[in-house]
Each structure stands twice: as structure tokens, then as C-alpha cells.
Amino acid sequence: MTTADNTPIPDYQKLLRLDGKNYIVLGAGQGMGRQTSHALKQVGAKVFCVDVDQQRADEIAAEVGGFGMVADCTQRSEVQKLVDAAEKQMGRIDGFVDIIGIATWAGIFDIDDKAWDSQFDLCLRHAYLASQIAGRRMKETGGGTMVFIASVSGLSAAPMHAAYGAAKAGLMAWVQSLAVELGPFQIRANAVAPGSTLTPRVKAMLIDSGRMESSIAAVPLGRVGTPDDIASAALFLSTPLSKHITGRTLVVDGGVDCKFPYS
């Protein structure tokens, strides 16, 4: 307490803890998902690790002492099963982090209906299903958090991967609607928009194409992002330290979108 301010001081370290909380990570098996699973575990949460590949799901579950399950999260029945299983294994569901999504590359005139539908399934449909199914459980138990991995491609032009950008833009709009509709039930929804991030797939692509140096040069902080950068943002948005933040998209790109021109 000071003369001018007697506002109570929170325990900020405690606000970073998730002791006794239960979280689902969708797309947990590698890259951002693996790092996020570890981040949640390290601050006390139990983690239910979901991946489309059984081996990856089992391996990350073993790493974090959690539970593993294979599921196709673009299918309502599969999402229902995984939410039921998570609740059975852990008890109530306090939140989830949805990291599913992959870009396919094609020019505007080369995108066919199958590719378009696939991008919206892989970047948006699972978010809609998880929000509905897990969200109902969180509403019944007094609240929780939803964090989705979006992309800077949904905030600006996405040349040669326009369907991906459109789907990610839709995801960020979905997050804002979730925040408004579910806020009265104490459910927070936010997104993280990574820039170029060295997941195993992207790292291999940049090395193979010889674009690693130019990618580094484009970033004001002097390095391409890493999966733990995204996991750190997802962790912040999952903890009480961000308790008054909802409906927002946090850009994690090392400052690239601050530059004009982008070169």
C-alpha cells in the first residue's frame, strides 16, 4: 500500500499457474502442439493430447504424463468422443488449445473445390466443432478458455495460399463471436497468429528452398519464430494472467507486420 494507491496486489506468479486444471490440446503430436502440451504441463495442468497419428499422440502423452488419443477433429462424432474421453479421464474440462491447420499452396485459378473444402476443414471446421462440444461442457462447469492457432495469413494477403488465408481469417472472426456469446458464461476465446515459424515441416521447407536466410532477414528481431514462441503465447492466453482478454488475436511474428514495406 502506498499513500496514493491502496489497490490490492495480485499474486502474479499464481496467476501463471494451472494447478488442478484439465486441458485438451488438439494437434498435440509435434511442433507447436508438442510445445504447448509441455507448457501447460509445466504450470500444473493435466493434458489430454489429441493427434491424427496414434504414435504421435501416445509419444507426447508419455512425455507430459498425460493422456493420448487419436481423432479426426474435422468429424463431429470424433470430437464428441474425444471430449467424452477427456472428461472421463480427467474430470471437468477447463480449456483447450486448438493447433490443427496446414497450408496448401496454389494460385487462385488453380484452387479446385476439393482443395478449398479441405482448407476450411483443416483450418476452421474443427474449431467450430470443438467450440460447440467442449464449450457446452465448460458452460455447465462454470467457464474456461479456448485458444486457437490462427495465422498472419488471415490478417493480410496470402498469395499462393489464399484458401488458407481465407479460412484463418474466418477463424479469427469466429473467435470474436465466441467471445461475445460465451463471455457471460465466463468462457474466454482468443487466437494466436504466428508468422513464419520453424515447425519441423516449415524448417525443412525453408532449408530445401534456400529461403532460410531471406526469412531471417525479414524479421526485425533477427530470427524466424520457433514453436515455443507460439506455445508461450497460447499459455499466456490460457492462464488467469490474461483473465480480462477475450476475442483477441495476438500476433507472434517477431515484428514483421510492423514493417513497411515488408522487405
User: Catalytic residue positions?
Assistant: 151, 164, 168
- Specify burial of residue 193 (Cβ count, 10 A radius: 0-12, 13-18, 19+): buried
Residue at 18: amino acid letter: L
**How does DSSP classify residue 105?**
-
CA pair distance 239, 7, nearest whole angstrom: 22
C-alpha cell at position 49: 493430447
Query: How far is the CA of 105 from the CAs of 3, 102, 111, in angstroms?
Result: 60, 10, 9
CA pair distance 91, 212, nearest whole angstrom: 44
Query: How far is the CA of 125 from the CAs of 99, 132, 167, in angstroms?
Result: 12, 11, 9
Q: In sequence order, what are the beta bridge partners of 69? A: 50
Say how many C-beta atoms besides its own lie within 10 A of residue 202's C-beta.
18
Query: How far is the CA of 98 from the CAs of 32, 126, 256, in angstroms?
Result: 10, 8, 24
> Which of 83, 100, 180, 81 is CA-nearest to residue 147?
100
Contact 140, 90 (CB under 8 A): no
Q: Are strands 249-252 and 22-26 parallel, antiparallel or unpaired?
A: unpaired
| Segment holding 37, helix H or strand E | helix 31-42
